[in-house]
Amino acid sequence: MEVTAITRRRHPILTSFISQVTPSESSVIRRVAMEPVFQHYLKSVLSIRGVKRVAMHEPLTSLYAVIAIQFARGAPESEIWRALHGAASLHRFAGKWIIAVDEDIEPENADALLWAMSYRCQPQYDLKLVPHKDPGHGPRGPHDGGETAAVLINATLKGTFAPVALPKREFMENAKAIWERLGPLARYCWRAPIRDYRPRMKEVLKLQGLIAHATVRAPQLGVDAAERAEIARLARAAGLLDTPPLRAVGD
């Protein structure tokens, strides 16, 4: 191939960064490097007591926007705020949302983070906003020349609470045994595409004699013969067809 000319727009649009949506190859590599960098900075450089772990949220947020800091139970509140401010200042644009949590909160689990923020945080006392943060890559906001801010959230326990109550061991073991028996059928019926769980579950109810037929209305599609046979096999293996059939609705 012989290149004779390279042309461009009169007013080109120049992208600042080209990469995949995270998680991606580059974000996985960056994460294993950046999390230890933050943890080392907080524990060894700033000598903050109680820091156990730093987790950077990866899916869609590209590691830098959401940072969770896990603390040992009973860490002084002064140390928690030192860590939050320290994490906000280490990197030019990392740390738009920085959350401190206890060691019973899994920092990689976004649901657990939201739970801690919902029930272990009083925003009027436990939230600080640090302005003049560089927004990093991506579109800039319309205010303050595009500057953003860091939101520091202390979502740790502020007192002593009763431990989480669990049922007695015998009930937990019984529930586990039930799930091990019903799990294969449940996972099969609720697999993707999830919209098809209704006709699948109707087939189970029909096999049990709880409904007279498994007809579904358009645009919903019924199950095919192969799927119906697999549902019957799993239901039989789960012991759902061992009991005498119940009276069907409509009989």
> Tokens representing 175?
């529930």
Which two tokens mark 9? 């727009």
Same-domain status, 58 and 97: yes
> Quick one: pLDDT at residue 139?
79
Cα separation, 149 vs 143, whole angstroms: 12
148-154, strands of its sheet edge to edge = 51-56, 66-71, 97-102, 148-154, 127-133
Strands (E), 140-231: 148-154
pTM attached to this predicted model: 0.63
Write down the pLDDT at residue 48: 97
Q: For residue 234, what are the contacts with CB-CB under 8 A and spacing of at least 6?
A: 184, 185, 188
- Give the range of the structural domain holding residue 44, as residue numbers without chain letter: 25-154
Mean pLDDT, residues 34-39 = 96
Name the residue among 133, 16, 118 with its Cα closest to residue 64: 133
Domain boundary among 125, 154, 183: 154
The rounded radius of gyration (Å) of the Cα atoms in the chain is: 27
71 residue type, one letter = F
- Cβ pair 151, 131 in contact under 8 A: no
User: Does some domain include residue 3?
Assistant: no
| Residue 96 contacts residue 88 (beta carbons within 8 Å) | no
Please give the Cα distance from 24 to 59 (Å, whole number): 9
pLDDT band (50, 70, 90) for residue 245:
low
Please give the tally of structural domains in the chain.
2
pLDDT of residue 244: 62
Residue 123 lies in a domain: yes
> Tens digit of pLDDT for each residue in 49-76?
999 999 999 999 989 999 999 999 999 9
In a domain, 15, yes or no: no
CB-based contact 45:87 (threshold 8 Å) = no
Identify the domain boundary among 154, 179, 209: 154
Q: For the domain that residue 77 is a member of, what is the CATH number?
A: 3.40.1670.10
Indicate if the pLDDT at residue 247 is higher than 60. no
Structure tokens at 251: 């009989």
**Same domain, residue pair 207 and 131:** no
Helix (H) or strand (E) run with residue 185 in it:
helix 169-189
43 lies in the same domain as 143: yes
pLDDT digits (tens, 9 = 90+) for 189-236: 999 887 788 999 999 999 999 999 888 888 888 899 999 999 999 999
| Tokens describing residue 180 | 């091990």
Per-residue model confidence (pLDDT) at position 188: 95
Shared domain for 57 and 99, answered yes or no, is yes
Confidence of residue 96 (pLDDT cuts 50, 70, 90): very high
Residue 74 in contact with residue 47, Cβ under 8 Å?
no
Higher pLDDT, 233 or 15: 233
Q: What mean pLDDT comes out for the span 93-99?
A: 95
Closest CA to 69 of 99, 40, 94, 46: 99
Pair (37, 123) in one structural domain: yes
> Over 90: is that where the pLDDT of 153 sits?
yes
Q: Is the pLDDT of residue 240 over 60?
A: yes
Q: Which long-range contacts (CB under 8 A, 24 or more apart) does 118-124 make?
A: 120/155, 120/156, 120/157, 120/158, 121/153, 121/154, 121/155
* Percent residues over pLDDT 70 in the chain: 94
Q: pLDDT digit string (tens) for 99-143?
A: 999 999 999 999 999 999 999 999 999 999 999 999 887 778 899
CA atoms within 13 A on the CB side of 44: 6
Q: Is residue 251 domain-resident?
A: no
Kindly state whether residues 219 and 115 are assigned to the same domain: no
User: In 3-state terms, what secondary structure has residue 240?
Assistant: coil
